Amino acid sequence: MTDTPLAAEKTHRLRDGSRFFFDSLRTRPVARRLLSGFSIITAVIAIGLLAYPLATNYLQDRLQSRLAIQLHSPQARANYAAGHTPEGDALTRIVIPTIKVDTVVVEGTGASALRAGAGHYPNTPLPGEEGNVAIAGHRTTYGKPFANLDRLAPGDEVVLETPIGRHVYKVTQPPFVVANTDYSVISQTPGHTLTLTTCHPKGSARQRLVVKAEMLS
């Protein structure tokens, strides 16, 4: 099947346009520099996007080593018993065998505190206390401890190891999604409950993924 005159003319124009573009780059240093600069900027952005998660994971790993020691210190025990753990200090260790989570949780959910990977919402009960204990964790950076929170299912266990005791919670319902402005999920409730939150979908803070659990007696 042969090209129609119109199709042949379009092909000819495309070839002429491509030839003009590359001839311009060869004969105009400014155009070459602009294209080269654009390529460098694009490469730098791509490298940055790849390097950022690796850098945060490295930072979180070093911080976790320090927090693991701090969690078992006499000062951490005294602070926990008094209910006054400073923001950013080790509060508890969260262990979720089903999704291979083993991370020290700090007090607070601010940006600096969450460099540890996971933080305890202030003004919610301490692990083991009556009410709704709430913990937030990163899903894609800073060790991404809650990366696979969506894989939890009813019956899975969540263990919180504090400086003064160990508490086991069992997931009571499938993970669900709420708006990032919905703080009702961490409001106080009767009984001994636990709420875990993280960003959803991965790489976005548009929504929150939530897991609910209840302490085993």
Is residue 32 assigned to a domain? Answer: no
Is residue 30 assigned to a domain? Answer: no
* DSSP bridge partners of 139: none
The tally of domains found in the chain comes to 1
Q: What is the largest CA-CA distance in the chain?
A: 87
Question: From CA 13, how far away is CA 36, in angstroms rounded?
Answer: 26
Question: From CA 142, how far away is CA 121, in angstroms rounded?
Answer: 18
Is residue 41 assigned to a domain? Answer: no
pTM: predicted TM-score of the whole model, two decimal places: 0.76
Residue type, 151: R
Is residue 47 assigned to a domain? Answer: no
- Angle (deg, nearest 10), helices 5-27 and 29-71: 80
Range of the domain at 161: 53-215
Buried b (16+ CB within 10 A) or exposed e, 113-134: bbbbbbbbbeebbbbbeeebbb
* DSSP output for 115-170: GGSEEEPTTSPPTTSSEEEEEEE-SSSTT-TTTTGGG--TT-EEEEEETTEEEEEE
Cβ neighbourhood burial of 48 (10 Å; 0-12, 13-18, 19+): exposed
Is residue 12 assigned to a domain? Answer: no
List per-residue pLDDT tens for the chain, 217 residues long: 555 555 556 556 656 656 665 666 566 666 556 556 656 566 545 554 455 667 778 889 999 999 999 999 999 999 999 999 999 999 999 999 999 999 999 999 999 899 999 999 999 999 999 999 999 999 999 999 999 999 999 999 999 999 999 999 999 999 999 999 999 999 999 999 999 999 999 988 899 999 999 999 7
Is residue 78 assigned to a domain? Answer: yes
Is residue 161 assigned to a domain? Answer: yes
Q: Please, are residues 138 and 115 in contact by the beta-carbon 8 Å criterion?
A: no
Is residue 7 assigned to a domain? Answer: no
Look up the CATH number of the domain holding residue 74: 2.40.260.10
- Angle (deg, nearest 10), helices 29-71 and 74-82: 80
